[in-house]
Structure 1
């Protein structure tokens, strides 16, 4: 395998821009599916679907007879820069997290579009495991340096206000805050590249679960797909991952995106497509009208691709932040939103990252380090009949690595209560266990954009009677 990658590296075209584009395309083909989602293109409708080897491609006779040949999508294509910033060199041993971004086709006329797709890919190069988590665009989160909003607006805010690193950097920071993990790399690509790339690997083979109608982007054509294994060329693969008119809506779409991501990986491996892609680098570049924006260097891309090849297929975990991890609601302005349930989302993260629903660290020292790293701002209120309880409890919590920023009194209550305003699941869990809160009615998930703390702790007489504080 090592010699194989050395040959690939030597065979790369000498032009650096082409090298980067081809390498990133290969990497994204393996791990990110070229940021699946909506896209904008100017290709002509009615193009002939190529005949692919293996599983038969859907015949042309299945096209909608009422289609209007020659119709075009007049939306412009986004033009992106190849490289934005370069992170620290990867040591080849540390876990790597990559945020895959796709832009909303409806916004591509704007200079600051929103993201339509966010997928966090993680790779453990030591244990040879990997995973991906799809993040829904309507998730209601705190945007760093801004107010609460849908997570898909982070990119737009970064671009609009020309923040350091632009949209990708703010999107990365927002996802880091949501999931509580560092993200070293990002990759953003225009979606027309998805069609081109899938065609260059001669289609993707997917198992369609039920009969569905695929609407081809930019045309009035539709294709009915029967259940079973089919090989889809680029435009049909795009229609497959874009479709939302199912019971699960965006959640179902995210699952299809991940299905196609792995189908691309399997296609490259099964048909040994990587050498072909590299040999045809100039042609591939000529076919791609949009650029790539990423902080991956060529060397990092080759390193990552080599490790990803070594990860067994059954060691790639998949997850979607769906209805089990959110509450459905409306924003203050009436938008349909998804309110995250922070502790459930972090448990999902741990399952994908570590294969368990809690952090791998368990010693008192490690727990203290986790609490310090999470850096939750906590307010402690004395709602008991015991004077000075809040002060003594705050002193103890500070010693455990919790950042108590305010101590005050509250109206009397028998049972202790914890209210969570931010995404601080480990601190929340620690406090619930410490205070022995067993009733879910005393664990409150609240929304308040004006909140100055992440967690409010109200100490009741139950804690006054049971604590062992000095």
Structure 2
């Protein structure tokens, strides 16, 4: 599971961001587009953020990025985050760690009380989501990247689909979207287009629900990494960026992305790792108007610090 997780960030930065240096205009246009609030807007609180209090990435400081997948089918409502990944890059040790946060984790959302962690985005936009995750994990979160269903589908279709061994028959009908996002997959090895791939990562009607679903997400992202890193996908990158840019949003500036791209080229992938939060034995399943995961915040934060302090092996 950890070996699969570590590939995700390499896909998002090494492939999409790093190669921007080779596709100047396409990358510049893409970077400008995804900085617009085209998916989730921060509420107007009447306050301007104090930039001096926002932790910014420097030469030796870790850079922490919250990646969120959202269901934005109803454009009249601010969506909750359907999946959350916290990526932490160590520019000194040349490693990165990925923390997959279970969406039913029950935490305090500043200003709104206790709720599922995925509700933070809907309550207060990306800023509140970053603040909530920072409070949960104990590390500062400065940046975010958001994409939605349509962006995911567009990316898969743009790279020509992915090969996945579907482990069982999957069927689910959602009456709320008139069949547009129904799930109907057959067991077996097959080539999935964007629509089928989305069905695969969304299915959660298993005995272990979200746990198994996150495993499938990692499995598909690994397959996507292989596809994106192929020579044909790199050649087609300008077209890929053009197709996905309407469905991606971030507060990373063009210069941020360029700096991160250069950093990513130096990372020791074999020393990077991925983890689930809250980790096993650090939460209780309780009922709060539905089943939720009540984490031990001190245990979670101690676990995060332990993993971030790992020392990479000597690459020589």
TM-score grouping bracket, smaller chain normalisation: 0.7 to 0.9
User: 2:137 touches 2:300 (CA, 8 Å); kept in 1?
Assistant: yes
1:224 aligns with 2:186: yes
Q: For 1:55-74, list aligned pairs within 5 A.
A: none
Q: What residue is the counterpart of 1:246 in the other structure?
A: 206
What RMSD in Å do the two structures reach over aligned CA positions? 3.5
Q: CA deviation at 1:247?
A: 1.9
1:124 aligns with 2:80: no
Q: Which runs of 5+ in 2 are unaligned?
A: 1-13, 44-48, 174-178, 312-316
Q: What residue is the counterpart of 2:23 in the other structure?
A: 11
1:96 aligns with 2:58: no
> 1:97, 1:187 → 2: CA distance?
11
Task: Count residues with an aligned counterpart.
Answer: 281
1:185 aligns with 2:151: no
Q: CA deviation at 1:251?
A: 1.4
1:168 aligns with 2:126: yes
Cα 1:269/1:88, change in 2 over 3 Å:
same
Q: CA deviation at 1:234?
A: 1.7
Q: CA deviation at 1:310?
A: 3.8
1:338 aligns with 2:298: no
1:157 aligns with 2:123: yes
1:297 aligns with 2:253: yes
Q: What residue is the counterpart of 1:52 in the other structure?
A: none
Could you list the per-position Cα deviations for residues 411-436 of structure 1 after superposition, in whole angstroms to 9, with x for gaps in the alignment? xxxxxxxxxxxxxxxxxxxxxxxxxx
Q: What residue is the counterpart of 1:325 in the other structure?
A: 282
> 1:202, 1:122 → 2: CA distance?
30
* Structure having greater relative contact order (Cα 8 Å, sep ≥ 6): 2
Q: CA deviation at 1:143?
A: 1.1
- DSSP 3-state at the match of 2:61: coil
> 1:225, 1:310 → 2: CA distance?
39
User: 1:114 touches 1:152 (CA, 8 Å); kept in 2?
Assistant: yes
> 1:260, 1:277 → 2: CA distance?
20
> 1:259, 1:122 → 2: CA distance?
21
Q: What residue is the counterpart of 1:39 in the other structure?
A: none
Cα 1:201/1:126, change in 2 over 3 Å:
farther
User: 2:88 touches 2:97 (CA, 8 Å); kept in 1?
Assistant: yes
* Greater mean deviation of Cα atoms: 116-125 or 340-349: 340-349
Q: For 1:196-211, list aligned pairs within 5 A.
A: 196-206=154-164, 208=166, 210-211=167-168
Q: CA deviation at 1:301?
A: 1.5
Cα 1:308/1:265, change in 2 over 3 Å:
farther
> 1:143, 1:13 → 2: CA distance?
40
User: 1:94 touches 1:125 (CA, 8 Å); kept in 2?
Assistant: yes
User: 1:190 touches 1:290 (CA, 8 Å); kept in 2?
Assistant: no
Cα 1:6/1:240, change in 2 over 3 Å:
closer
With normalisation by structure 1, the TM-score equals: 0.52
Q: CA deviation at 1:351?
A: 4.6
User: 2:63 touches 2:89 (CA, 8 Å); kept in 1?
Assistant: yes
Cα 1:156/1:90, change in 2 over 3 Å:
same
With normalisation by structure 2, the TM-score equals: 0.74
- DSSP 3-state at the match of 1:101: strand
Q: What residue is the counterpart of 1:233 in the other structure?
A: 193
User: 1:212 touches 1:224 (CA, 8 Å); kept in 2?
Assistant: yes
> 1:100, 1:6 → 2: CA distance?
17
> 2:24, 2:214 → 1: CA distance?
33
> 2:258, 2:269 → 1: CA distance?
19
Q: CA deviation at 1:129?
A: 1.6
- DSSP 3-state at the match of 1:138: coil
